Amino acid sequence: MAAIPAIIYGTAWKQERTAELVVKAILAGFRAVDTACQPKHYREDAVGEALSIVEEKHGIKREDIFIQTKFTPIGGQDTSKPLPYDPSAPVPAQINSSFLTSLANLRTTYIDSYLLHSPLSTKARTLEAWRALIGLQDAGKVRMIGVVQNRWYEGNGWDKDVYRYCRAHGILYQSFWTLSGSPSLLKHPDLVALANAGHCTPEQAIFRLAMLHGIVPLSGTKSEAHMRDDLGIQDIDLGEEAEGRFRSVRELVFGKAG
């Protein structure tokens, strides 16, 4: 069983380059890959192709890769593309069909992490979906289950309330849109100074700050150099006491209680 990752390679919007980029990410050192059974934005089948390539050609086994995929409700699907379930079927049947499609696409017999891509149209339907995920976990077909990933960026105030709820209840918080959605923070003088103190880029400093606060970020880069940069965040020392810059940036992002 693959360990819970410190950072995950995200495959949204990669389309025909998905397999190529996932292979590059794994060879660069990523051991966790995120996808979804949502043809609108993901090529889940191409992730499966990449996993086969790295095992057959490079000896990196499936059990060494943390695979995460998602059930996407009909509101998040493009109905002009083939759907992984019958939207008129009961919610548990939709999830079962989507899950079986994911297993086939990913060429695996189990999923390390299976998420609801978003809440469903009502609270009752969302709870019904959650119970279906619990059933998959109880059956040993899924290791971990969850509800959505969150945009963690300056535009939503760093999602402070949800982040704090997750921390208080032992829920693993995954973030995306963190770099693309935070141009002001990337230029903030305190963050730039903090990055300089840690001999890293501002982008690496943000990811390192997230990691130090229990957040697992997604990296969707297409650049091999940036893949290596992102993987290097675990070894960065931000010089936390350097003129209070660490505290300043931490309070900006997490608030004084962060």
Q: What angle do CA 21, 24, 30 make, to 5 degrees?
A: 105
Q: What is the pairing mode between strands 32-34 and 8-10?
A: parallel
| Partners of 69 in the β-ladder | 114
Residue 243 confidence (pLDDT): 60
**N-terminal to C-terminal alpha carbon distance within the chain:** 32
Asked, for residue 96, whether it belongs to a domain, the answer is yes
Within the chain, residue ranges assigned H as helices are 18-28, 44-58, 91-106, 123-138, 160-168, 183-187, 189-197, 202-212, 224-231, 245-254
Residue 2 confidence (pLDDT): 76
Residue 78 confidence (pLDDT): 97
Residue 126 confidence (pLDDT): 97
Query: Which domain CATH number covers 135?
Result: 3.20.20.100
Asked, for residue 166, whether it belongs to a domain, the answer is no
- Residue 91's domain spans which residues? 8-148
CA 190 – CA 245 distance, rounded (Å): 6
Asked, for residue 227, whether it belongs to a domain, the answer is no
Asked, for residue 160, whether it belongs to a domain, the answer is no
Task: From 109, 110, 105, select the one nearest 45 (Cα to Cα).
Answer: 105
Asked, for residue 39, whether it belongs to a domain, the answer is yes
Q: Domain count for the chain, please give it.
A: 1
CA 257 – CA 131 distance, rounded (Å): 33
Asked, for residue 165, whether it belongs to a domain, the answer is no
pTM to 2 decimals? 0.94
Asked, for residue 90, whether it belongs to a domain, the answer is yes
Q: Residue 251: what residue type?
A: E
Task: From 148, 140, 205, select the one nearest 171 (Cα to Cα).
Answer: 148
Q: Which residues contact 189 (CB under 8 A, 6 or more apart)?
A: none
Asked, for residue 170, whether it belongs to a domain, the answer is no
Going residue by residue through the chain, which has 258 residues, state the pLDDT in tens, using 9 for 90 and above: 678 899 999 999 999 999 999 999 999 999 999 999 999 999 999 999 999 999 999 999 999 999 999 999 999 999 999 999 999 999 999 999 999 999 999 999 999 999 999 999 999 999 999 999 999 999 999 999 999 889 999 999 999 999 999 999 999 999 999 999 999 999 999 999 999 989 999 999 999 999 999 999 999 999 999 999 999 998 998 875 556 788 889 999 998 765
